[in-house]
């Protein structure tokens, strides 16, 4: 064990030296990303660990997520902390610009929000020395050596929430060359809450200490739709525009999948001339491109970003905006979750549609969301429909639109499975963090 630990420390020294030497190139790359609009135009120095807000006095907890999905999963936990421990300061960081634009409007006003530092020694040390967090709650799979080892060196408690390791990363990290470093990093955590039993097994194989692994349920079930009054009014207005129409939604669509969804749309509209297909691409720019192509073909497309209304002749409603999907699911009785119809894709959160009471369909390429599909189908086999082809998808939606009893049964099954799986998750996470992290980190502050 000592030999493995020594090897891990040697590997970390090599990583730290390498990232230190590459820091000038990393800075150039960051500036290149800013020029391309991939980083915030004025707040990009935060990625170098340079703060844009004053650090308040008193204990501070740091929540970190890479992008929008993980960040949204953290918000209910943050709200519980604000409610139960108003004496604590909360800092949230994300990496992507899209996450920043959405999450900044969802957080409690007392929460500080910054972009996360790059994993270079200078950026991480600058960040930690300024913010001096008592504990860090990392979401899902953000295992960066400088961040983890630097935090441990400064006596900062670490927790990994909704922890997961992709199969690709697991195969890489379990290789003899990297395993000592990964094992060393995982040993620095006070708590790991895995996404599923399979994820727990992977962390144990990667030599995470068994006593720090505890279960709470998947945080992505703990969703909420806190639309502002304006957004709520917008959704209700859309409901009115769709009231007399047949509707289905294709959400989280990746490039290429629009061909599948538009093919299904063309088939369905033959049977239902009043049909409206709601398309929600992952990238708003992709949505604009699809709309422009359809308009060239003479199709009537309404763009959400332009606040265009759904008129009697509108067949496609294009949602080229971010951060509204959870509430938009309330518009449609049928939801097809994209990112799942081509090899190489890894699915998206199906529980959001289930929570809204949609009949939920997905492809088979669902990656780490496979545990969610299996859990929901185990609770109720009618809760999720998985299809293997465009024809199967078309037939499944046709059946739902044709038979209200089948549609109602599917919607009820999805809602019931979601409710069963979401119960008590935030309370479980709070209790685990309070016991394993807060007691120690705040006692030592």
Closest CA to 29 of 93, 120, 150, 102: 120
Distant-in-sequence contacts of 282-286, Cβ < 8 A, 24+ apart: 282/252, 282/253, 282/254, 282/338, 282/339, 283/255, 284/320, 284/321, 284/322, 285/320, 286/253, 286/255, 286/258
Closest CA to 100 of 138, 31, 47: 47
Distant-in-sequence contacts of 33-39, Cβ < 8 A, 24+ apart: 37/97, 38/97, 39/97, 39/115
∠ CA 290-291-295, nearest 5°, is 120
Rounded Cα–Cα distance for residues 433 and 158 (Å): 10
Rounded Cα–Cα distance for residues 120 and 16 (Å): 8
What are the backbone dihedrals phi and psi of residue 110, each rounded to the nearest 5 degrees, phi first? Answer: -80, -10
Residues taking part in catalysis: 70
CB 139 within 8 A of CB 74: yes
Both structure tokens of 17:
């030296």
Distant-in-sequence contacts of 42-48, Cβ < 8 A, 24+ apart: 43/114, 43/115, 44/115, 46/114, 46/115, 46/116, 46/117, 47/115, 47/116, 47/117, 47/118, 47/123, 48/117, 48/118, 48/122, 48/123, 48/126
- The residues, ordered by sequence, that sit 6+ positions from 275 with a Cβ below 8 Å of its Cβ are 245, 246, 247, 248, 265, 268, 269, 315
Distant-in-sequence contacts of 80-86, Cβ < 8 A, 24+ apart: 80/426, 80/427, 80/429, 80/430, 81/430, 82/108, 82/110, 82/111, 84/430, 85/438, 86/110
Name the 3-class secondary structure at 104: coil
């Amino acid at each position: 064990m000592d030999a493995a630990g020594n090897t891990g420390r040697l590997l970390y020294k090599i990583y730290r030296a390498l990232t230190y030497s590459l820091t000038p190139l990393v800075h150039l790359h960051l500036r290149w990303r800013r020029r391309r609009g991939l980083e915030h135009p004025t707040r990009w120095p935060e990625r170098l660990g340079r703060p844009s807000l004053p650090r308040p006095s008193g204990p501070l907890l740091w929540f970190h997520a890479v992008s929008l999905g993980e960040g949204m999963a953290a918000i209910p936990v943050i709200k519980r902390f604000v409610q139960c421990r108003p004496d604590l300061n909360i800092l949230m960081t994300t990496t992507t610009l899209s996450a920043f634009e959405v999450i900044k409007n969802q957080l409690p006003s007392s929460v500080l929000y910054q972009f996360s530092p790059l994993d270079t020694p200078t950026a991480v040390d600058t960040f930690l020395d300024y913010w001096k967090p008592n504990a860090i709650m990392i979401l899902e799979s953000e295992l960066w050596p400088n961040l983890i080892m630097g935090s441990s060196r400064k006596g900062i408690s670490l927790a990994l929430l909704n922890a997961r390791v992709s199969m690709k990363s697991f195969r890489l990290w379990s290789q003899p060359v990297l395993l000592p470093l990964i094992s060393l990093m995982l040993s620095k955590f006070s708590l790991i809450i895995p996404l599923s039993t399979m994820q727990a097994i992977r962390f144990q194989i990667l030599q995470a200490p068994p006593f720090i692994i505890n279960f709470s349920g998947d945080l992505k079930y703990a969703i909420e739709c806190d639309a502002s009054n304006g957004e709520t009014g917008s959704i209700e207005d859309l409901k009115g525009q769709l009231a007399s129409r047949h509707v289905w939604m294709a959400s989280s669509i990746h490039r290429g999948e629009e061909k599948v969804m538009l093919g299904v749309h063309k088939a369905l509209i033959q049977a239902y001339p009043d049909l409206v297909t709601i398309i929600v691409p992952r990238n708003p720019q992709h949505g604009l491109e699809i709309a422009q192509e359809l308009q060239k073909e003479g199709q009537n497309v309404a763009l959400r970003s332009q606040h265009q209304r759904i008129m009697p002749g509108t067949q496609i409603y294009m949602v080229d905006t971010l951060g509204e999907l959870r509430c938009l699911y309330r518009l449609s009785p049928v939801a097809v979750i994209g990112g799942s119809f081509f090899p190489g894709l890894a699915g998206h959160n199906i529980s959001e549609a289930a929570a809204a009471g949609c009949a939920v369909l997905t492809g088979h390429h669902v990656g780490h969301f496979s545990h969610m599909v299996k859990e929901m189908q185990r609770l109720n086999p009618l809760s999720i429909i998985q299809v293997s082809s465009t024809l199967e998808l078309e037939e499944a939606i046709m059946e739902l639109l044709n038979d209200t009893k089948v549609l109602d049964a599917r919607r009820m099954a999805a809602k019931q499975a979601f409710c069963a799986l979401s119960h008590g998750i935030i309370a479980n996470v709070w209790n685990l963090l309070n016991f394993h992290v807060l007691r120690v980190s705040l006692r030592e502050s």
